[in-house]
Chain A
Amino acid sequence: MNDDDMLAAMRSSLTSVKDSLTDVHMDRPPETITARARARRLRRGLPGAGAAGLALGIGLALTLSGHPAGSGGPPAARTVHVNLAAWSVNTTPAGQVNVTIRELKDPARLSKTLADAGVPVMLTSGRVCDTGYQAQLSRVVQKLGGSGDVVLVINPAAMPPRTKLVIGIGTARMGSEHFLAAAFTLIKDGSPLACPGGAKTRAR
């Protein structure tokens, strides 16, 4: 089989695979794409502001409680599309919540926005503790690569009742490069974020 024949066979096979993906759709509306571009332009237009804000935000070691969730499960979700220069939260029709954190700015609003999207959260800095929910955690949150940003897909429906998602934000260093890193855990609603014996999960 020469290259032309092989290329024709590849075209036939791969097109068949692609055409079989009829249930795969890009759900994000065009407005989220243009808003993301606008946020990036704004960020580029403020030289130094991002890095300074990030360093300050993490240096404060803030711990902010999310929106009160009451004693039941996750709060009722609604459609949320908030795209700021520092972070974005977008719900999907499938019930997932896409989160991108570029800078840790206005964490109180981020907590409230996530709560509105059905994800009760506690934002903190740096590492977080292993609270025994590691098995459930992999179904709740997935971390994706993202050009130095923290990019998450959260599934609120997979959260155990009366729990909060803890997101620890910090910086990781590789050589001279610094980039945002995140660690996660779940805690019972109302429980303090304590680390017995100092055991902590590694930030990632």
Chain B
Amino acid sequence: MRVWGVERRRQEFAEFYRSSRDDCLRIVLVSVGDRQLAEDLVAEAFTRAWMSWRKVREHPAPRAWVVRTALNTHVSWWRRRRREMTVEGRTALTLLNGTQPERSADLGLDEVLAAAVRALPPRQREVITLRVFFDLDTDATAKLLGISPGTVGAHLHRALATLRTLTQSFSDQEVTR
């Protein structure tokens, strides 16, 4: 019965949504640093997931699909917002609780790294997010992002080089202050 099939898919999606939403929201929040924005991005990504549920339910990593979609949406919204010049930009060092440290030295290493990830170019940030939070290997990351494994490796290497420099300077600062 078609109705039964639709209802079953709806229940299946609702179950997926309930079990994944908080985790996806927290991952996107770490990546974008703005609670309201993260919530809207994740809602948009789940909306698209439901609209393509037959494809997403067969995906090997549906949560990663949602997070990648949310971050892609962020890219396009950010570009639009940059044109409009209407929304106050938040600095990369804004903490996740909405406060801003007076100095970068007031942050712990974990927060420094999270802020640095938010400052990465979008594609590098996506690669880091998928590799770190979902433990996807290079091939799986490439497939999800629709790019070649070599390109994933290049983005990862550049991102880690940037983060390594930051970690080093943070360690030096810790030693000298």
Contact = CB atoms under 8 A, between A and B. Distances in A.
Interface stretch (A8-16, A113-121, A159-167, A185-193): A8-16
Contacts of A10: 113, 117, 128, 132, 160, 163
Contacts of B110: 13-14, 16-17
A40 B51 contact: yes
Interface residues of B, number: 54
Interface in B73-119: 73, 76-78, 80-81, 83-84, 86-87, 96, 109-111, 113-114, 117
B39 A26 contact: yes
A145 B36 contact: no
Nearest to A177: B83
Interface residues of A, number: 40
B43 interface: yes
Contacts of B35: 24
Interface stretch (A30-38, A48-56, A61-69, A126-134): A30-38
Interface of chain B, helix or strand or loop or mixed?
helix
B50 interface: yes
Contact of A3 (B29, B73, B86, B157): B157
Nearest to A100: B40
B84 A34 contact: no
Contact of B80 (A3, A145, A153): A145
A46 interface: no
A33 B43 contact: yes
Contacts of B51: 37, 40-41
A143 B24 CA distance: 22
Nearest to A16: B110
Contacts of B163: 6, 10
B133 A7 contact: no
A21 B51 CA distance: 29
B35 to A, nearest CB: 7
B132 A7 contact: yes
Interface of B: 10, 13-14, 17-18, 21-22, 24-27, 29-30, 35-37, 39-40, 42-44, 46-48, 50-51, 73, 76-78, 80-81, 83-84, 86-87, 96, 109-111, 113-114, 117, 128, 131-133, 135, 156-157, 160, 163-164, 167
7 contacts: A1-B164, A10-B113, A24-B25, A26-B39, A26-B42, A34-B10, A142-B36
